[in-house]
């Protein structure tokens, strides 16, 4: 995707040093564009935990490269034990996005079978494959999802299609293209008029900071709104479709996503606004059926609720919002039950949010 006209991915191998992974440190966006070098598993784990990188697909790609860094540092004797420890360290960073455990498991499986002299190259190839696949699947999500926006545009005789999105399921949350934003970028590039309502997405404001920035970089018309505005806009007929991403979706169609998504789905349901979730297959949980009960919901530091970050006098500052002694709690995700989800947009096409719909697109995942 474009940053001031230049193409970037969110994570890549340093072009001159194969022992270094480079990332865009998202903590500083939109005010500063900073590239960070990572050379150890501990640094990669910290980058995931403290959200230098975030978003389901990118967390998976970061874990893939983290396992490569582990392979580089592992002794020849005890290689697998070393990589198993690294796997635990990476998996412990963030619990909700299923891509993390998926990428680590994929690396462990290939490393277990690789001849000792080829392990490092195998780990690098696998990390690159995870990243390339993520970008390619998101590109395909865009190609499938654009049909939804084109249909609405036709119905509105070319008037702008108003899309509401929550949090950041854009290219910053993946390796490239994004999931929820991919159809929007394709539509915009095809000349379909679109306008995006960007939920600010408290407490970390991934919408206001990241989605608004990347849409702006691509020239997509957008407006940032307070999280609480969505229901009102839907009642007024100002939202044609809700498009979100997901950190973990059960194969039965329950959608785990950034806190507040469930409320948007309820409002969409009440106002007959279609609610779609876009995801690469790496974000499906093929094991659990009941997302509301079984998707692990991360609780983060309450300071993220009590404080807010912004630019003041040219410097990024944190300020306190609450009385100093008021306790706060920070649930980072919620789960939208499948009955509120109109459909899922995947790299293989669009399907109903149900086991039948999902397994129809991914028949190899049927059990028994």
Whole-angstrom distance, CA of residue 38 vs CA of residue 70: 12
CB atoms within 10 A of CB 361: 16
Binding mask 65-104 for ligand MRU (x = CB under 6 A): ----------------------------------------
Torsion of CA 269, 271, 274, 280, to 10 degrees: -50
336 binds ligand MRU (CB under 6 A): no
Nearest distance from C-beta of residue 197 to ligand MRU, angstroms = 15
The 8-class DSSP code of residue 286 comes to: S
In terms of CB distance, is 97 or 273 closer to ligand MRU? Answer: 97
CB atoms within 10 A of CB 207: 27
Of 5-13, 39-47, 141-149, 240-248, which segment contacts ligand MRU by CB under 6 A?
240-248
55 binds ligand MRU (CB under 6 A): yes
179 binds ligand MRU (CB under 6 A): yes
Query: Which residue, chain included where needed, has tokens 């690396």?
Result: 107
Of 164-172, 187-195, 310-318, 347-355, which segment contacts ligand MRU by CB under 6 A?
164-172
Classify residue 193 as exposed, middle or buried by CB count within 10 Å of its CB (0-12, 13-18, 19+): middle
Q: Extract the tokens encoding 250.
A: 């059960």
Using the rule CB under 6 A, which residue among 22, 93, 246, 250 binds ligand MRU?
246
Nearest distance from C-beta of residue 72 to ligand MRU, angstroms = 26
Of 27-35, 102-110, 163-171, 227-235, which segment contacts ligand MRU by CB under 6 A?
163-171
Residues designated catalytic:
247
291 binds ligand MRU (CB under 6 A): no
The 8-class DSSP code of residue 333 comes to: E
In terms of CB distance, is 36 or 82 closer to ligand MRU? Answer: 36
257 binds ligand MRU (CB under 6 A): yes
Using the rule CB under 6 A, which residue among 54, 119, 222, 306 binds ligand MRU?
54
Using the rule CB under 6 A, which residue among 173, 198, 340, 345 binds ligand MRU?
173
Whole-angstrom distance, CA of residue 131 vs CA of residue 103: 10
Nearest distance from C-beta of residue 22 to ligand MRU, angstroms = 19
Q: Extract the tokens encoding 149.
A: 């926006």
DSSP characters over 33-71 = --EEEE-SHHHHHHHHHTTSS-SHHHHHHHHHHHHHHHH
In terms of CB distance, is 74 or 138 closer to ligand MRU? Answer: 138
347 binds ligand MRU (CB under 6 A): no
> Which are the contacts of 164, defined by CB distance < 8 A and separation ≥ 6?
196, 197, 199, 230, 233, 234, 239, 241, 242, 243, 264, 273
In terms of CB distance, is 20 or 229 closer to ligand MRU? Answer: 229
How many amino acids of this chain bind ligand MRU (CB under 6 A)?
Answer: 16
Q: Extract the tokens encoding 29.
A: 């966006």
Find residue 248's DSSP bridge partners.
Answer: 256
Nearest distance from C-beta of residue 346 to ligand MRU, angstroms = 13
Q: Extract the tokens encoding 97.
A: 């996005």
Classify residue 137 as exposed, middle or buried by CB count within 10 Å of its CB (0-12, 13-18, 19+): buried
Whole-angstrom distance, CA of residue 119 vs CA of residue 319: 47
167 binds ligand MRU (CB under 6 A): yes
Using the rule CB under 6 A, which residue among 83, 93, 205, 244 binds ligand MRU?
244
338 binds ligand MRU (CB under 6 A): no
48 binds ligand MRU (CB under 6 A): no
- Positions touching ligand MRU (CB under 6 A) are 54-56, 167-169, 173, 179, 206, 244-247, 257-258, 332
């Amino acid at each position: 995707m474009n940053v001031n006209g230049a193409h970037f991915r969110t994570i890549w191998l340093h072009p001159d040093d194969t022992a270094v992974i480079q990332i865009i440190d998202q903590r500083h966006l939109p005010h500063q564009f900073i590239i960070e070098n990572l050379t150890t598993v501990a640094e990669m784990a910290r980058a995931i935990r403290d959200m230098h990188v975030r978003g389901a697909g990118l967390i998976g790609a970061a874990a893939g490269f983290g396992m490569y860094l582990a392979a580089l540092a592992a002794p020849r004797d005890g290689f697998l034990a070393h990589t198993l420890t690294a796997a635990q360290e990476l998996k412990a960073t963030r619990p909700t996005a299923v891509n993390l455990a998926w990428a680590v498991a994929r690396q462990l499986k290939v490393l277990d079978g690789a001849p000792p002299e080829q392990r490092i190259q195998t780990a690098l190839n696998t990390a690159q494959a995870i990243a390339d696949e993520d970008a390619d699947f998101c590109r395909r999500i865009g190609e499938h999802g654009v049909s939804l926006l084109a249909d609405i545009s036709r119905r509105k005789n070319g008037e702008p299609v108003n899309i509401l999105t929550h949090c950041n399921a854009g290219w910053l949350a993946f390796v490239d293209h994004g999931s929820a934003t991919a159809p929007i970028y394709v539509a915009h590039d095809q000349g379909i008029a679109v306008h995006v309502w960007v939920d600010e997405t408290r407490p970390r404001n991934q919408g206001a900071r990241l989605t608004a920035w990347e849409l702006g970089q691509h020239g997509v018309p957008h407006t940032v709104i307070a999280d609480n505005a969505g229901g009102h806009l839907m009642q007024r007929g100002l939202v044609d479709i809700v498009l979100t991403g997901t950190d973990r979706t059960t194969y039965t169609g329950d959608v785990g996503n950034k806190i507040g998504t469930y409320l948007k789905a309820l409002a969409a349901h009440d106002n007959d606004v279609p609610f779609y979730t876009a995801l690469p297959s790496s974000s499906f949980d093929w094991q659990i059926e009941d997302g509301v009960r079984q998707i692990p919901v991360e609780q983060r530091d309450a300071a993220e609720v009590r404080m807010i970050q912004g630019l003041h006098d040219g410097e990024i500052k944190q300020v306190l919002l609450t009385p100093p002694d008021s306790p706060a709690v920070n649930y980072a995700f919620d789960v939208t039950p499948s009955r509120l989800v109109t459909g899922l947009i995947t790299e293989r096409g669009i399907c109903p949010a149900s086991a039948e719909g999902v397994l129809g697109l991914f028949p190899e995942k049927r059990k028994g």
